Chains A and B, each alone.
Chain A
């Protein structure tokens, strides 16, 4: 529990879960808390250190998630992830990944995505869920239910509004604006408009000191795609020169578009390996220039190497005899930056359970030559979930005589098996004695399937003795 002071007042500025369980709340006077709970551990708040930590977090988020990141003191970070979420596999995955990363470090975090800074700010602080995603255009509906305190207004204003009978943002939005402005000033209306997206609230992105960044301001705003493309390729050339001076290659590059209406749009391109190749970087951005909405015009373009790594120039193989191995990383980058797709390789896992024996790895992960043991036949198509089938079979270890799958009855002509697969008790205790008996069966038309019986056919402890379809052979 952390105590903050302002003048002679002492109040709680942060409380951990244990404290919250005891009924302590942020904003409660410290004396009251002491009266409620005995033996309370109190630490003086260190605002400066908090702010410094927040800035470190923001810089980290800048390199990981989005080109436009700013601190939202005292306890938040705001990001504009539009045009960057695809690098993390979409909004859903990005948000859950973010929260999980925090949790891995022992930090609790809540995250929200919404159309406006105001709505995201409020949602992240008011809901109980760890991640909230509000769809495009739904911000207004979501915001209506939020309490007044989430409107980023001074505490006194919120208190007076409460006294007047307002409880939610929706209440306030439904009231005529003029009397409110007369009584409380412009701030209330401005915050409401920001939350509902009626006025823009640009995020002023933070920039680390050593960032490699090039910019170009225009005397006349530009808007035509060809013009943008021309300047982007110029910026790329400049950036590559800068990087070359420092011996760096770029892993993540951001194109930041400042428009005349004071909004910022950003495009982020990621590469699988450090690059300093002008043509390649230009291509990564050129594919998506059409996504830039120039609006009334663009007054400034910035290109920043948000994540740069040392790049060592290596001589490419020039031998005439040796077969040249094509480097596929440029292709992976082009596909990966397009969005709407996941790129991966698969690698074996030492597990007998079929659905656990394959894992996805990064497309440029080291090639270790590992593959699966090839002694038992495996079907090329595996059902995501084994499907229950009805079977006539002789217990304990005979293959089925016939089975019914997807309401079609098939007579088994030939069969191989059983291949017994044991449960992995070190993963789940319920698999202690679990067994699956797999059979390869072929029906009279020649279709081959991979079916299994849960259990060994004798002992009911080992499984339900139900039969399942798991895959199709060729």
Chain B
């Protein structure tokens, strides 16, 4: 197709090439952070979360307030990057041992606890601009369009992965999530009943990950096993059944034989 475009409009093609080379310069090696799950990565342009971009994650349902699933999802992503992580927030209710369990080492994370939300935005932007960090995380209630655009530009300039956890003080505020932002992807992570075990007890946590918006791509819904932290590098487990239509039909999981390191989550599709 690109050849066809080239013959149709060589000027445009040349410009595109120039832009690509400008954008690719310096960050060719690390422009994408794949999830390692083919079904999820296929939905993302380039095959993973783009570095140098802003990604928004919110909790679904009741989880929108505490943002526990969103924090763990983000923690897993940050754990798979290299370099320091700066985490800006207003109220420090994170329990770090849980993040350590998804492979994020406490030595890597620098917390910036701010008095006001505006300070969070300012610190977030400063850290994004700085460059050389693995990821920059911010917990925000509000993310206005202009602010998100500034942040997106800051991230683009330095090639840093910007992660935003949207959490609200009360359920009604969650409607703010409908407002558009300049973020490259927008996720909603809701909790699902855990993977059934043959014995009584809580199995591996499962999430419904909704990719609600992705720039230059189509969204999707995945049932995923929560971040696994046995290894230093945390891979989210296999998706259940690709885009999950209205069914919410929970796949039945079965643990693959093997050690802790290769704890995989396989699933069969009962849907159409």
Contact = CB atoms under 8 A, between A and B. Distances in A.
A380 B94 contact: yes
Interface of A: 323, 325-326, 328, 330-332, 334-335, 338, 340-348, 354, 357-358, 363, 367-372, 374, 377-384, 413-416, 440-442, 444-448, 471-474
Given A326-B83, A341-B123, A446-B192, A471 B107 contact: no
Contact of A447 (B63, B96, B110): B63
Interface string B182-210: 00000001011110000011110111000
Given A326-B131, A341-B115, A414-B194, A472 B106 contact: no
B154 interface: no
Contacts of A370: 106
Contact of B107 (A325, A369, A415, A473): A369
Interface in B86-101: 86, 93-101
A326 B135 CA distance: 12
A345 B111 contact: yes
B115 to A, nearest CB: 5
B119 A331 contact: no
Interface stretch (B6-14, B16-24, B65-73): B65-73
Contacts of A347: 106
A471 B95 contact: yes
Contact of A338 (B122, B200, B201): B122
Interface-central residue, A369, A381, A447, by most chain B CB under 10 Å: A381
Would you list the 10 A-B pairs with minimal beta carbon distance, nearest first?
A326-B132, A474-B69, A382-B95, A474-B72, A446-B193, A367-B107, A380-B98, A378-B97, A372-B97, A472-B68
A363 B110 contact: yes
A341 B119 contact: yes
Given A332-B110, A369-B107, A382-B93, 12 more contacts: A328-B84, A331-B127, A341-B115, A343-B113, A348-B97, A378-B97, A380-B72, A381-B94, A382-B94, A416-B202, A446-B194, A474-B72
B100 A446 contact: no
Contacts of B61: 445, 447
Contacts of B149: none
B191 A448 contact: yes
Contacts of A384: 93
Interface residues of B, number: 59
Contacts of A374: 97, 100-101, 229
B262 interface: no
Q: Classify the interface of chain B: helix, strand, loop or mixed.
A: mixed
Given A326-B132, A447-B62, A471-B95, A340 B202 contact: no
Contact of B123 (A335, A357, A448): A335
Contact of B97 (A358, A446, A448): A358
A445 B207 CA distance: 12
Contacts of B62: 447
Contact of B101 (A345, A378, A415, A440): A378
Contact of B95 (A343, A358, A444): A358
Contacts of B94: 380-382
29 contacts: A328-B130, A335-B126, A335-B127, A341-B115, A341-B123, A342-B112, A343-B111, A344-B110, A345-B109, A357-B97, A358-B97, A369-B107, A374-B100, A374-B101, A377-B98, A378-B95, A379-B98, A380-B99, A381-B67, A382-B95, A440-B202, A445-B193, A446-B194, A446-B206, A448-B191, A448-B194, A448-B205, A473-B191, A474-B69
Contacts of B132: 326, 328
Interface string B128-143: 0011110000000000
Nearest to B230: A374
Given A379-B68, A474-B73, A371 B63 contact: no
Given A371-B100, A442-B202, A381 B109 contact: no
B214 interface: no
A377 B69 contact: no
Contacts of B70: 474
B114 interface: yes
Contacts of B72: 380, 474
B105 interface: yes
B82 interface: yes
A326 B97 contact: no
B52 interface: no
Contact of A380 (B75, B82, B107, B194): B75
A366 B201 CA distance: 40
Interface in B44-86: 61-63, 66-73, 75, 82-84, 86
Contacts of A363: 110
B187 to A, nearest CB: 13
A379 B206 CA distance: 14
B226 interface: yes
Contact of B133 (A326, A338, A354, A377): A326
A166 to B, nearest CB: 43
A88 B63 CA distance: 35
B125 to A, nearest CB: 11
B71 A414 contact: no
